A and B are shown apart, each in its own frame.
Chain A
Amino acid sequence: MTPLLSIRDLRVGFGRNPQANEVVRGVSFDLADGETLAIVGESGSGKSVTALSINRLIDFGGGRITGGSMQLKRANGTIFDLMSATEPQLTGIRGAEIGMIFQEPMTSLNPVLTIGSQIEESFRLHRGLTGRQATAAARDALDRVRIPDAARRLKYTPNQLSGGMLQRVMIAIALACNPRLLIADEPTTALDVTVQAQIMALLAELKRESAMSMIFITHDIGLVAGIADKVMVMQNGQAVEQGELNQILDNPRHPYTQHLLHAVPHFANGRATRADGQRDKDAGAEPALKVDGLVVRFPLKSNFFSRATGAVHAVDGVDFDLMPGETLAIVGESGSGKSTTAKAVLGLVRSTRGSFSVSTRTASAERSAKPVQMVFQNPYASLNPRLTIESILAEPVIATGGRVDTETRARMASLLERVGLPKNSLQRYPHEFSGGQRQRLCIARALMLNPSVVVLDEAVSALDVSVQAKVLELLVDLQREFGLAYLFISHDMAVVERIAHRIAVIYAGQIVEIGDATSVLSKPKHSYTKKLIAAVPTIDRRREHFEIDTRQVPSLVRPQGFEPAPAKWELLGADHIVRVET
């Protein structure tokens, strides 16, 4: 039987001389009707370029297909040559026979048009529907992706919907005309883990309903297990291995596939937590950081002169302490208050109430001027591109009134060596370094003032999976060496499992469960913690289907003067407490 899609020796290049700058170098695969192929690889591996070549959107992205063949079996059984097709022919294929969804739902919808008109457009273009018929079709499409209250939501513009909702709208658009092939390019990468689970569940369900084929592109090999029939692993523009799902996951042949499967953090339900530095309660040591009843509220005003009518309770009564040499991970979804907690600890936002005490004693017995330092999420944006590495590392010293003397320079050199960067880095500029190297620079900068606490806000989230593992290793080594206390903020449970001694789960501005990492991950008690852990994709749970859960995170907006009821805690072990749910 002819496959739905047959790609042979696809080559795609960029720039003025595409033959010399090939990003995809000879990729071949077949996709049968109703089959799902997962393309896995790191950034720059050519997986997205391959996908965009299939519907020839790459033509608009500066790419040029330099060789190979691509054939699509159309609905009427004829073979359509995607390589030689003209632009008008291709507009008839796109949306009608090949649908596509993208990574960033927040930016993938037109901000000035209502979502209703954007969905209707597909029906207008390919079905010739107009007026009421198109509106009705759009409403049905929204119903199909399980968006509640579809008729009203049609009039919304994208800024009025959350990321998860927008991705559903994108799916509704892509599937509007029942395409026979759906290309999903990292559709859940920008979403929270529980929302990711919902979108994956929705895709699996829609696929079952419609018998369409799917190409699912991801960097997360854990996500593949739940959805794919076949897997293709890409590296440097080539397909290094492809085969059936089970064969790839259980018997990977290519070293790179093995590396992806083994060197990369996978979530293991608390079985892969750290064995070192267990909390020693009776030592009576002074905590490096103690946070007591932290509250951060942002008043809501209707205009500049009027009084506050309510407040956003971003952080609502958070307590924890952090011992030297210990990592406390704060996990939660976006908007849960985890980053606000970190910013409050650093004094970057003003706390409404609550107290901190930071120990200024560091492991090396020197007093540090600024005992709390921070490493940010995006290493590409957090280094000033106009400063040399030397100036960047000197900045914290200058900011605290210090002088850049031989001692400082010696410290720079030793820290650079310690984080694994070449000696000649000092005179270079940030753009000369890769993402992982830049994050190492950010870590070195944070350590310049010899802090006792380092706040790591999603510090490895922007890095490729294999780079992530190495940066995590470095962090663990530095922690042992300098006795650093880490406040590690992350949404990624697999990463948290590798680095945390203790975990605090934060939901709607409050800690709902906190304790020893192994205990929290293996025996979660709070319903939200359970939901969070169940949503983590793992290679162990193959073809497991998630329930679709359309519940939204509760609003954090409260009336003026509102105080939450005092928390009641249940003790679940030596170091594991959970907030009693009401």
Chain B
Amino acid sequence: MNYLMRRLAAFPLVLLGVSILVFVAIRMVPGDSITAMLGTEAGLLTPAQRDSLAAYFGIDQPWFVQYWRWIGGILHGNFGISVTYGRPVLDVILERFPLTLELALLSMIIALAVGMPAGIYAATHNEKPSDLGVRIVAMIGQSTPSFVLGLLIIYTLSAGFGVLPAMGEFAPLRQDPLRNLSQLVLPAITLGFAFAASVTRISRSAMLDVLSDDYVRTARSKGAPARSVIWRHALPNALIPVVTLSGIEFGYLLGGAVIVEHIYALPGLGRMVLDAILQRDYALVQGSVLFIAFNFMIVNLLVDLAYVALDPRIRLGEQ
């Protein structure tokens, strides 16, 4: 509990660092909201027009004043207004986030449901043809870019067989769960395939390590059947690397999956952030990067708590 408080207390510090980084980084990029909006025609503006537009976008002040106003606003729950959407940044983000979260969760479920059994199977059939087969598929899964796989799936399923609508207006989960799931299954498989491949490889190697450990031999010497040796004695000890990997991958997915969102025309966080960067929508970029960083920290915290639950030797917050 004490540990949890201290971890949470560190959050604002990290977020402060992230906020400075993203604030500076987005302003290092040539161009600003005005050039992004008007393109080459921005050069035709009179100085007076330019000044008034700059004042409108809030970019007429020195950087530290802009930063100070932004941070001051955040402390009052105001993340600023998105220039492109003309709405509060937080609203725009929260509107997009459920889809991204759902997609990330679905992909992780697919990855764990497929990857772990495959990895365990390969480890227990080490160096047999079936192990080799699993390893080859995992290698292919890891090395196939998601746009190739995504297009391949769309082509074969939608175009070839006419199953599952991959396109069309996105239906949020609460409005139309069935339609929502049918829209997300293919993107989730596309993302989950590479994810599952990583999970397979890491759970296979972790299981192989654990299966040669002394306590597995002890379990066998007690007369524990193969099933119990694998599930009760070996697996809990092999989970730590799987949790680490899944946490990192899940954290990335929460930041949005630009390519897959693009292929399946999904309004997720990834595309939104990319557009915001291209539009020099400073408030939206800054707000969403902070949001993504916050999610990553939450996931990391959950991963660390999972370690404690899995392994009694790990004690958090002790020197």
Interface residues of chain A, those whose CB is within 8 Å of chain B, are 55, 57, 60-61, 87-88, 90-96, 99-100, 102, 104, 107-113, 121-122, 125-126, 157, 159, 170, 173-174, 301-304
Q: What are 7 pairs between A and B in contact, CB < 8 Å?
A: A60-B217, A61-B217, A95-B222, A95-B223, A108-B218, A111-B311, A125-B223
Q: Taking A92-B223, A94-B220, A109-B215 as given, write out 13 further A-B residue pairs in contact, using a Cβ cutoff of 8 Å, ordered by the A residue number.
A: A95-B223, A99-B221, A102-B221, A108-B214, A110-B215, A111-B311, A121-B232, A126-B223, A157-B312, A159-B313, A173-B218, A302-B319, A303-B319
Residue of B nearest to A99 (CB): B221
What is the CB-to-nearest-CB distance from A336 to chain B, in angstroms, rounded to a whole number?
A: 24
Q: If A96-B223, A173-B222 touch, does A111 touch B214 (CB 8 Å cutoff)?
A: no
A495 to B312, CA, bound (A): 39
Docked complex Cα distance between A157 and B310 (Å):
12
Residues of B close to A174: CB separation below 8 A? 221
Contacts of B233 on A, CB cut-off 8 Å? 110, 113
The one of A93, A102, A110 in contact with B237, judged by C-beta atoms closer than 8 angstroms, is A110
| CB contact list, B231-248 vs A, under 8 A | 232-233, 236-237
Which residues of B lie under 8 Å from residue A173 when comparing CB positions? 218, 222
Provide the residues of chain A in CB contact with B160, threshold 8 Å.
none
Q: How far is the CA of A499 from the CA of B313 in the complex (A)?
A: 40
Contact across chains for A91 and B221 when beta carbons are under 8 A apart: no
User: Is B140 among interface residues, defined by CB-CB distance under 8 A?
Assistant: no
Provide the B86-124 mask, 1 if CB < 8 A to any CB of A, else 0. 000000000000000000000000000000000000000
> Chain B residue with minimal CB distance to A119?
B222
Asked whether A111 lies within 8 Å of B223 as measured between CB atoms, the reply is no
Name the CB-closest residue of A to B225.
A91
Pairwise interchain contact A108-B217, C-beta atoms closer than 8 A: yes
Partner of A57, one of B217, B311, B313, B317: B217
Q: Which of A57, A96, A110 has the most CB of B within 10 A?
A: A110
A170 — which chain B residues lie within 8 A by C-beta? 218
- Please indicate the chain A residues that have their CB under 8 angstroms from the CB of B228 in the complex: 121, 125
0/1 string, B31-63, CB within 8 A of A gives 1: 000000000000000000000000000000000
* A87-B226, A110-B233 known; A94-B317 Cβ under 8 A: no
Is B219 an interface position by the 8 A CB rule? Answer: yes
Bound-state Cα–Cα, A90 to B217, Å: 14
Contact B236 A112 (CB under 8 A): yes
A113 partner residues in chain B, CB cutoff 8 A: 232-233, 236
Whether A104 contacts B222 in the complex (CB less than 8 A), given A157-B312, A303-B317, comes out as: no
- Tell whether, in the assembled complex, residue B319 and residue A301 are in contact, meaning their CB atoms are under 8 Å apart: yes
Residues 207-221 of chain B, each 1 if its beta carbon lies under 8 Å from chain A, else 0: 000000111011111
Q: How distant is A460 from chain B, measured CB to nearest CB, in Å?
A: 25
**B220 and A102 within 8 A (CB):** no
Contacts of A109 in B (CB 8 A): 215, 218
Are A94 and B222 within 8 A (Cβ)?
yes
B135-170 interface (Cβ within 8 A of A) = none
Q: Which 5 A-B pairs have the closest CB atoms?
A: A95-B223, A94-B223, A95-B222, A100-B221, A157-B312
Are the CB atoms of A102 and B214 closer together than 8 Å? yes
* Residue contact B222 to A110, C-beta cutoff 8 Å: no
Q: Is there a chain A Cβ closer than 8 Å to B292's Cβ?
A: no
Contacts of A99 in B (CB 8 A): 221
B224 touching A125 by the CB < 8 A rule? yes
Please report which residues of chain B, range 283-319, place their CB below 8 angstroms from some CB of chain A when the two chains form the complex.
310-313, 317-319
Given A111-B313, A112-B311 in contact, is the A121-B217 Cβ separation under 8 Å?
A: no
CB distance from A50 to the nearest CB of B (A): 15
Distance of B217 from chain A, by nearest CB (Å): 6
Given the known A-B contacts A157-B312, A159-B313, are A111 and B222 also in contact in the complex, defined by CB atoms under 8 Å? no
Interface centre among B219, B221, B224, B311 (most CB of A within 10 A): B221
Q: Return the contact of A93 from the options B213, B223, B224, B317 (Cβ within 8 A).
A: B223
CB <8 Å contact, A94 and B319: no
Shortest B239–chain A CB gap in Å is: 9
How far is it, in angstroms, between the C-alpha of A95 and the C-alpha of B318 when the chains are bound?
38
Residues from chain B with a CB closer than 8 A to the CB of A111 are 215, 237, 311-313
Contact B317 A107 (CB under 8 A): no
Asked if A57 and B221 sit within 8 Å, CB to CB, the answer is: yes
- In the complex, what residues of B have CB within 8 A of residue A302's CB? 318-319
Q: Which residues in B have their C-beta under 8 angstroms from that of A121? A: 219, 222, 224, 228, 232
- Give Cα distance in the complex from A302 to B319, angstroms: 7
- In the assembled complex, how far is the CB of residue A176 from the closest CB belonging to chain B, in whole angstroms? 8
Beta-carbon contact of B237 and A112 below 8 Å = yes
Residues from chain B with Cβ under 8 Å of A110 in the complex: 215, 218-219, 233, 237
Residues on the A chain within 8 Å of B318, using CB:
302-303
Contact partner of A94 among B215, B221, B310, B311, CB < 8 A? Answer: B221
The chain A residue with its CB closest to the CB of B210 is A110
Contacts of B226 in A (CB 8 A): 87
Q: Do A91 and B312 have beta carbons less than 8 Å apart?
A: no
- Given A110-B237, A112-B237, A102:B223 Cβ within 8 A: no
B317 / chain A contacts, CB cutoff of 8 Å: 303
In the docked arrangement, what's the CA distance between A113 and B234, Å? 11
The CA-CA distance from A57 to B232 in the complex, in Å, is: 18
Chain B residues positioned under 8 Å from A91 (CB to CB): 223-225
